Structure 1
Amino acid sequence: MSRDVLSVRRRELDALLARLDADDDAVRADRSAATADDEHDPEGSTLSGEWQRLDALRRSVLDERAEVDAALARLDAGSYGTCVVCGRAIAPARLEARPMATTCIACAA
């Protein structure tokens, strides 16, 4: 079950990254246009602000994708569901809520 959940999340994150990359490409194209004077547009965010927002979202998605990949690697290694701090089993409810969890509830607190 966990592999399926993690694999689905990995695909969702890849799709989101593709959309963010396309949006980033569009912002870069707009920034390079000689007529893009967004700094004086009182009704919208600036291209620089949009670029920063997209970059922050992209970094967040990449971080989550790395967590998913690490969880899939733990599944392959047979250590998935074991707390990296105390070595006890991570509660199934915690793994259901956060499939990438590396610690049990006690160690996470």
Structure 2
Amino acid sequence: MYTYHVYILKCCDGSYYTGITNNIAIRLAQHQHGIDKYCYTYKRRPLTLKFQQEFNDVLQAIYFEKKIKGWTRAKKLALINGDYDMLKILSECRNATHFKYQSLKK
């Protein structure tokens, strides 16, 4: 049975890269050595592993990776720092039409 890792790398330019792999050590080495010159991280080396989470189900890992890729930088930093309270705050809908704010208008 495989395990899958969703990971976040911090690039030398300060940006973040999110990926998924079934072998974290090999994948990190590939990123660091610049195996693929078309990869986002190729020109942004050196890289630092900032976060990883292990999954037993590949579909859950893929779902989580795609979810993180859609997040803002602030949400990624909250996850990296383990600040789950801030992550919850950043995840709340703040649109004026959100049901939470509708009761305040009455």
TM over 0.5: no
Which protein is richer in strand relative to its size?
2
Q: TM-score, normalised by structure 1?
A: 0.25
Q: Which has the higher helix share?
A: 1
Which is greater in Rg?
A: 1
